[in-house]
Amino acid sequence: MAKQRVLSGIQPSGNLTIGNYLGALRQWVAEQDTYECYFCIVDLHAITLPQDPAALRAKTREVAALYVAAGLDPERVTIFVQSHVSAHAELSWLLTCLTPLGWLYRMTQFKDKSAKQQQESVGAGLLNYPTLMAADILLYQAHAVPVGDDQRQHLEFTRDLAQRFNSMFGETFVIPQAMIPKAGARIMGLDNPTAKMSKSETSDYHAIYLLDTPAVVKKKLMRAVTDSYGEIRFSSDEDRAGVNNLLTIYQALTGQTNDEIEAHFAGRGYGDLKKAVVEQVNDRLQPLQDTYNRLMNEAGYLDRILAQGAERAEAVAEKTLQTVRERMGFVARPV
Ligand code: TRP
């Protein structure tokens, strides 16, 4: 039986964090044999907010290299840059024309991101973000989409749009499922443990980046917000969110149970907990950074991976797009 397909992507805006690793990349690595996987670097999504061209170029390559450094095997999975496969932009337009404006206006991400700007100056791309994401997923007929909880609404939108297309033009798209990791892998901001750790937060003590040096990791973690209870245990209380977050990171890295971890830290202070987390994080990041540096220094390596990825992705995407064009009534280009 053919393997089911998985597709996911990360925007090349900001620096990838330990939250991206524990909540996404690590899951992707675990799925690479079970599914036929497509992982893209969604640069067309990144430009829905202003990007500096040189930074966008550098970050796109950096994220691609981090995919590999985190353990994705470019021979077994397809790693590609979204803008290299023009079918994404094209299907996005076709879907845009089938999308009721009301569906777009009610998206919480659009409301949040546009609220931070002047209404009139918000780019139309921000409103259309979900149709581009739907195109990413539907082009590959993905069955499953591993994403964080914050992307649930985008997945619902994609399913609704796929169903709408199928009922208007005939069965064309696989209806995808969100694949949301169980609680535990949700890493919060170190300086604000009630908000998800974000790669686009500008504060220096918010996130651990995958390319942070050991000294920087230590400095950030030692400053992480805790509380005054002085008790090391897992908790869903808001005022214990900082300690819970440190424990969650520790658990994600060691694989130990809540009981084992609480027993290990019984009677000890937050300083000890922080030091233990520093050690675990640095132990995990070091081999990842070594691989990253090695492959960034190997001339042509990343280009070869991205060329091969784009070629494989394009073959699949073009096939779907061809069907969509025919079903919608476009005249085939005479050969
Ligand atoms: N919107 C996703 C995020 O911010 C990124 C994304 C774009 C994506 N296209 C996708 C995720 C397709 C999964 C599948 O996290």
Q: For residue range 229-275, list pLDDT tens digits in order.
A: 999 999 999 999 999 999 999 999 999 999 999 999 999 999 999 99
pLDDT band for position 123 (50/70/90)? confident
Q: Which of 59, 199, 218, 220 is catalytic?
A: 199
Nearest CA to ligand 1 atom 6: 9
- State yes or no: pLDDT of 183 exceeds 70: no
- Numbers of helices and strands, H then E, in the chain: 14, 5
Active site residue 196: yes
Strands 5-10 and 78-81 come out as unpaired
Residue ranges and CATH numbers for the domains of the chain are 5-180+300-328 (3.40.50.620), 214-294 (1.10.240.10)
Active site residue 319: no
Q: State the average pLDDT for the chain.
A: 95
For ligand 1, the distance from its centroid to the CA atom of residue 155, given in whole angstroms, is 9
Query: Is 230 exposed, middle or buried, given 0-12, 13-18 or 19+ CB atoms closer than 10 A?
Result: exposed
- State yes or no: pLDDT of 186 exceeds 90: no
Average pLDDT value for residue range 188-216: 94
The verdict on the CB of residue 24 being under 6 Å from ligand 1 is no
